[in-house]
Amino acid sequence: MKHNYKAIVSYDGTRYYGWEHQPNTDMTIQGKLETVLEALTADEGRREKITVIGAGRTDAGVHARAMTCNFLLDTACSEEQLMAYMNRYLPEDISVNDLRICADRFHSRFKAQGKTYRYTCWYGLSRPVFDRRYVYILDRQPDAERMRRAARYMTGLMDYKSFCGNPRMKKSTVRAVDSIRIEESGGYLRMYFHGSGFLQNMVRIMTGTLLEVGWGDREPEDIPGILAAGDRSKAGFTAPARGLCLMKVDY
């Protein structure tokens, strides 16, 4: 009998082409998870096609501490055995941290109520050697208070077309961003973004725009005009993928 399984997965996205299947490569998070699950069905005497549905589609190089996903599977394994099997055969930069049978109607993407992303930067004379895959190293310290002032203009239920990296986006670009929190600690600058959902590259473009404000290249009061323009070219640069991490999905 098939059950619907809910899993919480973390991964280092450095060497992957994002979550979702990509043509001509098997180096995606979704692909690696499905390969292991399909191997399990083969071990049990049948090979079935398994589809793993993620709560979001992180881009190439983006990381996750707690990506929620779900899949349908018929297996003799208990939840603990299934989780152990997956972690035994998944690459070492992907981990299943929790796994359990859930309601048949649970859908990790459609049922998601919100997501939290963190973007991490570093500034200073030294280098964060052991965090280098997970931070954007800045050549100068931005003014965090200016960034906080700008971030206030970025929150709310608004059209974020100017912060969308997909120029062919045909669906609505209206999103609700509840909060943007900016913290500094020992050379690290961390930005936390929480919202109902985000457009392609949206957090990275917002980050680049906030950094430009922090460096004095833009004013905090420029943000309403950028939003009103509905034009990607009016916003800042797209910050590198390595600094971005999906922290949590709300249900």
The more confident residue out of 67 and 25 is 67
CB distance 149 to 219 below 8 Å: no
205-244 burial string, b = 16+ CB within 10 Å, else e? bbbbbbbbbbbeebebebbeebbeeeebebbbebbbbbbb
Lowest-pLDDT range of 8-12, 21-25, 53-57:
21-25
Catalytic residue among 59, 93, 159, 250: 59
89 and 153 both lie in a single domain: no
pLDDT at 125: 87
Instruction: Look up 59 and say whether it is catalytic.
Output: yes
Task: Output the pTM of the full model.
Answer: 0.94
Residue 240 lies in a domain: yes
Residue 108 lies in a domain: no
191 and 85 both lie in a single domain: no
Residue 138: Cβ-neighbour burial (10 angstroms; 0-12, 13-18, 19+): middle
Residue 79 lies in a domain: yes
Residue 9 lies in a domain: yes
The answer to whether residue 47 scores a pLDDT higher than 90 is no
107-136 burial string, b = 16+ CB within 10 Å, else e? ebeebbeebbbbbbbbbeeeebeeeeebbb
The answer to whether residue 231 scores a pLDDT higher than 90 is yes
Query: Of the candidates 77, 102, 127, which is a domain's last residue?
Result: 102
Q: Measuring CA to CA, which residue among 83, 61, 58, 69 is closest to residue 12?
A: 61
Residue 109 lies in a domain: no
Residue 74 pLDDT grade (very low, low, confident, very high; cuts 50, 70, 90): very high
Mean pLDDT of 118-142: 95
User: How many angstroms separate the first and last alpha carbons of the chain?
Assistant: 26
Query: Of the candidates 63, 82, 102, which is a domain's last residue?
Result: 102
Q: What is the CATH number of the domain that holds 29?
A: 3.30.70.580
Predicted confidence (pLDDT) per residue in 213-226, tens digit: 999 999 999 999 99
The share of the chain scoring above pLDDT 70, in percent, equals: 100
123 and 235 both lie in a single domain: yes
Predicted confidence (pLDDT) per residue in 169-206, tens digit: 888 999 999 999 999 999 999 999 999 999 999 999 99
Per 3-state DSSP, the chain is made up of helix, strand and coil in percentages (nearest 5) of 30, 30, 40
187 and 238 both lie in a single domain: yes
153-185 burial string, b = 16+ CB within 10 Å, else e? bbeeebebbbbbeeeeeeeebebebeebebeee
pLDDT at 45: 85
- Other C-beta atoms closer than 10 Å to the C-beta of 196 total 15
88 and 120 both lie in a single domain: no
Helix H or strand E segment including 159 = strand 156-159
83 and 187 both lie in a single domain: no
Residue 247 pLDDT grade (very low, low, confident, very high; cuts 50, 70, 90): very high
Domain hosting 168: range is 114-250
125 and 239 both lie in a single domain: yes
Predicted confidence (pLDDT) per residue in 154-164, tens digit: 999 999 999 99
Residue 150 lies in a domain: yes
